[in-house]
Amino acid sequence: MNPATTEFLRQRFTDYYKKTVLVAPSSLEQREWGFVLFNPHSDAMRMRRHVGFSCRDELFEYIKNLIPQHTYYSTAYYEKPDAGTMSDKGWCGADLIFDLDADHIMRGPYDLMLARVKEETEKLIAMLIDEFGIDPKTIELVFSGGRGYHVHVKDIAFRGWGSTERRELIDYVCGIGIDPAAMLSGKILPTPSWQTRYHEALLEYFRWIGNLTDEEAIAHLTAIEGIGKESAATFLKKRDEIVRDIERHPTRMILKHRVINAILSRQDGEFKKRLLSRAALADEPVTTDTKRLIRMPTSLHGGSGMRVQPLELRDLPDFNPLVDAVVFSLRDVRVDLIHPLTMSMLGSTYELQKGINTVPEAVAVFLCCRGMAEIT
């Protein structure tokens, strides 16, 4: 990022912070804060952290004077949040946090990645409410300003949980460590659960096999370790019967079937893909980390120039980050683009060529923050 681009972004961020009404997290005085500053002489992110504030006015004044590129606060509560070492801070607990990042889910055009990660976020919230009984009033939802969403659970019941308890929860959410025998035991209840999802994925997979030609089905099954051509052919002859048995009352007895056991034991492949499509693909290290720094809602994301946008749960289905989290104007700005690209923002699609382009300010900020362009 050259000095002209850095200055352009810093001016735009300054205008935003002068005009906007910032929102501070709860228990602000127990939070550690971290800031990454605009640095025209380095592409490395250097964080100023171990900062503490006693009140909102002090925090807001600090931000408006500093004009950070990125603003973070701790999900943990500390006795001395501004202590210079983690051991001296005095950990008092931490919010339960889920981070859903499109980069961990798929690659593709930015708008499609944002749409995909929204689906995962909706699945996660449904799990937390319907399967864990978490009160929706304790869930705070935030668009990260970049490629996904942060889900904060502020229920005090989770505050004292360590990494081990949080690991069990995120494993459930992500569908990690599912035991086929447990999934095929007992009566399937009508309420949402992994047992229900497993049953649905299994039937879907077997029906998919039934729609293949015999040659395709044999080729698919024999590609799985432990399944030979003769076993595959025998299985296909009994597939309809197996499907009916699973529909009526699936039991762990089907694991004694060599072909089925090989399918369900495989850690990848078509069945696993269908099963994990029913998981919520959250970032596991974020949830297990009890001392995490996370972006401050209402701040700006220094990698996109978009607002870290707090949301009501009911607003998520209609939320469009490329419209609703964009804070800059439509005035023309000239940028020098590193490579051609097509991007959507503010309801329009822009076909941009390598080299000099005139784009709306909001697009220019985004491209410069992402390192895709420089100010001419």
Q: What are phi and psi of 126, to 5 degrees?
A: -60, -40
Tokens of 291: 């001392």
Q: How far apart are CA 281 and CA 285, in angstroms?
A: 12
**For residue 281, how many other CB atoms are within 10 A of its CB?**
23
Q: How far apart are CA 346 and CA 329, in angstroms?
A: 10
Report the C-alpha dihedral over residues 248, 249, 255, 257, rounded to 10 degrees.
Answer: -40
Q: How far apart are CA 360 and CA 364, in angstroms?
A: 6
Q: Which of 99, 179, 268, 315 is catalytic?
A: 99
What do you get for the CA distance between the two ends of the chain, in Å? 12
Q: How far apart are CA 94 and CA 76, in angstroms?
A: 4
Among 63, 5, 4, smallest CA distance to 369 is for: 5
Q: How far apart are CA 123 and CA 64, in angstroms?
A: 37
Annotated catalytic residue 283? yes
Q: Which of 57, 130, 283, 336 is catalytic?
A: 283
Annotated catalytic residue 101? yes
Burial of residue 214 (number of CB atoms within 10 Å: 0-12, 13-18, 19+): exposed
Tokens of 330: 């439509």
Q: Are 250 and 92 spatial neighbours (Cβ–Cβ below 8 Å)? A: no
Longest Cα–Cα distance in the chain: 74
Residue matched to tokens 């550690």: 32
Among 273, 261, 250, smallest CA distance to 221 is for: 261
Q: Which of 43, 88, 101, 214 is catalytic?
A: 101
Annotated catalytic residue 88? no
Known catalytic residues are 99, 101, 283
